[in-house]
Amino acid sequence: MSQETTHIVSYKTQIFVLLALLVLTAISVAITRIEMGPFNTAAALLIASIKASIVLAWFMHLKFESRFFTVMVAAVFILFLLVILVTFFDYSYR
């Protein structure tokens, strides 16, 4: 059994993370005003992924856990990305 470690994130970091999330939210709204065709979807997904990664890393402590979990989460992200890619084989060529 591995040792349970508790890691306490300082308020300062928490607030930085919160600000980063708010800024990214603002960007994802602002970016819809630019006409980019299918890349609008890509941009929205990209920003959402960055936000999710931030939440995972700090709020959900992935950054302080064993590397193994990071690898697992990354694998899930890649799977998700591939599913979206395949979906767009349909939408981009209709």
Could you list the residues that contact another protein (CB under 8 A)? 76, 79, 82-83, 86-87, 89-94
For residue 23, give the nearest of 46, 51, 45 by alpha carbon: 51
DSSP letter at 92 equals T
For residue 42, give the nearest of 6, 92, 8, 4 by alpha carbon: 92
**Shortest CB 85 distance to another protein, Å:** 9
**Shortest CB 91 distance to another protein, Å:** 8
**Shortest CB 11 distance to another protein, Å:** 31
Cβ distance to another protein smaller for residue 19 or 83: 83
